[in-house]
C-alpha cells in the first residue's frame, strides 16, 4: 500500500511577491536608456540621428544629421554651381523650369501643362482655342454641337435635322 505524503512549499513574501523597482518600492518603474526611473513609457527617451540616447541632433532639410541645411544645393542645377542661401534654397545660374528644377527642361505648353514632352502639347481646335474640342462638320460649321451638323450635296449644305426636301432642280439628275 502506498502512502501519500503531503509536500508543502513555502515562499517568502519578501523574495517573490515584494520585489522593489528602481524607485525602491513595490511597483513597475524601470530605468530607461537615459537613466530616468518611472513607469511612464510615453516619456522614455529616444535616440537622435547620431544614435545617442536622449541626444538632440536631428536631420536637416538635406537629410544630413546635425547639418545646417547648407549642403542642400549640391548638384541641384545639373552640374552648375548654385548659389545657396544657407537654408537649403538655391538660385541656379541656368534658371528654374516650370517644375522648379534648376536647369530643368520642362516648359508650359499653350494649355498650361508643364512637362518636357512636346509630343503631348495641346493643339488648337477649328475656332483657334488651345485645347478646345470644337470640330468642323462637312459644311464647315465649327462648334461642339453635333445636332447641327450638315452634309454637303452638290455644293449645297443641308442641315440633317432640318432638311425634309432636297432641292435637286438644276443638278442634272
Does 116 share its domain with 140? no
What is the C-alpha to C-alpha distance for residues 142 and 132, in angstroms, rounded to an integer? 11
- Which pLDDT band, with edges at 50, 70 and 90, does 137 fall under? confident
Domain residues for the domain of 59 are 55-122
What is the C-alpha to C-alpha distance for residues 69 and 58, in angstroms, rounded to an integer? 11
The residue among 69 and 20 whose pLDDT is bigger is 20
- Is residue 102 in some structural domain? yes
Does 81 share its domain with 66? yes
Does 129 share its domain with 150? yes
Listed as own residue / partner, the contacts of 122-130 with beta carbons closer than 8 Å and 24 or more positions apart are: none
Helix (H) or strand (E) holding 150: strand 150-153
Does 114 share its domain with 148? no
* pLDDT one-digit tens code per residue, 145-173: 877 777 777 777 777 677 666 666 666 65
- Is residue 157 in some structural domain? yes
- Is residue 129 in some structural domain? yes
Does 66 share its domain with 112? yes
- Which pLDDT band, with edges at 50, 70 and 90, does 9 fall under? low
> For residue 74, what are the CA distances in angstroms to 1, 11, 57, 143?
92, 69, 22, 52
Residue 18: predicted pLDDT: 58
* pLDDT one-digit tens code per residue, 45-96: 889 999 998 888 888 766 778 877 666 655 554 444 455 544 445 566 566 7
Does 107 share its domain with 71? yes
Contact criterion met (CB below 8 Å) for 29 and 39? yes
- Is residue 25 in some structural domain? yes
- Which pLDDT band, with edges at 50, 70 and 90, does 128 fall under? very high
- Is residue 130 in some structural domain? yes
Does 28 share its domain with 65? no
Does 64 share its domain with 115? yes
- Is residue 49 in some structural domain? no
pLDDT exceeds cutoff 70 at 44? yes
Does 69 share its domain with 31? no
Does 64 share its domain with 81? yes
Rounded mean pLDDT, 135-148: 83
What is the C-alpha to C-alpha distance for residues 144 and 161, in angstroms, rounded to an integer? 16
Q: Going by DSSP bridges, is the β-strand pair 90-91/107-108 parallel, antiparallel, or unpaired? A: unpaired
Q: Which of 18-22, 49-53, 105-109 has the lowest mean pLDDT?
A: 18-22
- Is residue 48 in some structural domain? no
**Number of domains observed in the structure of the chain:** 3
What is the C-alpha to C-alpha distance for residues 144 and 80, in angstroms, rounded to an integer? 49
- Percentage of residues in the chain with pLDDT exceeding 90? 7
C-alpha cell of residue 49: 540621428
What is the C-alpha to C-alpha distance for residues 71 and 103, in angstroms, rounded to an integer? 18
Amino acid at each position: 500500500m502506498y502512502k501519500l505524503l503531503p509536500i508543502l512549499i513555502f515562499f517568502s513574501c519578501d523574495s517573490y511577491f515584494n520585489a522593489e523597482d528602481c524607485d525602491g518600492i513595490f511597483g513597475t518603474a524601470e530605468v530607461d536608456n537615459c537613466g530616468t526611473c518611472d513607469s511612464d513609457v510615453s516619456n522614455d527617451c529616444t535616440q537622435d540621428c547620431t544614435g545617442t540616447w536622449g541626444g538632440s541632433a536631428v536631420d536637416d532639410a538635406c537629410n544630413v544629421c546635425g547639418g545646417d541645411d547648407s549642403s542642400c544645393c549640391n548638384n541641384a542645377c545639373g552640374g552648375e554651381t548654385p548659389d545657396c542661401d544657407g537654408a537649403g534654397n538655391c538660385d541656379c545660374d541656368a534658371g528654374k523650369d516650370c517644375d522648379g528644377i534648376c536647369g530643368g527642361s520642362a516648359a508650359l505648353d499653350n494649355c498650361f501643362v508643364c512637362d518636357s514632352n512636346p509630343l503631348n502639347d495641346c493643339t488648337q481646335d477649328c475656332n483657334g482655342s488651345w485645347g478646345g474640342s470644337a470640330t468642323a462638320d462637312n459644311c464647315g460649321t465649327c462648334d461642339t454641337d453635333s445636332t447641327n451638323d450638315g452634309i454637303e450635296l452638290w455644293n449645297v449644305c443641308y442641315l440633317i435635322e432640318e432638311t425634309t426636301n432636297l432641292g435637286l432642280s438644276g443638278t442634272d439628275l
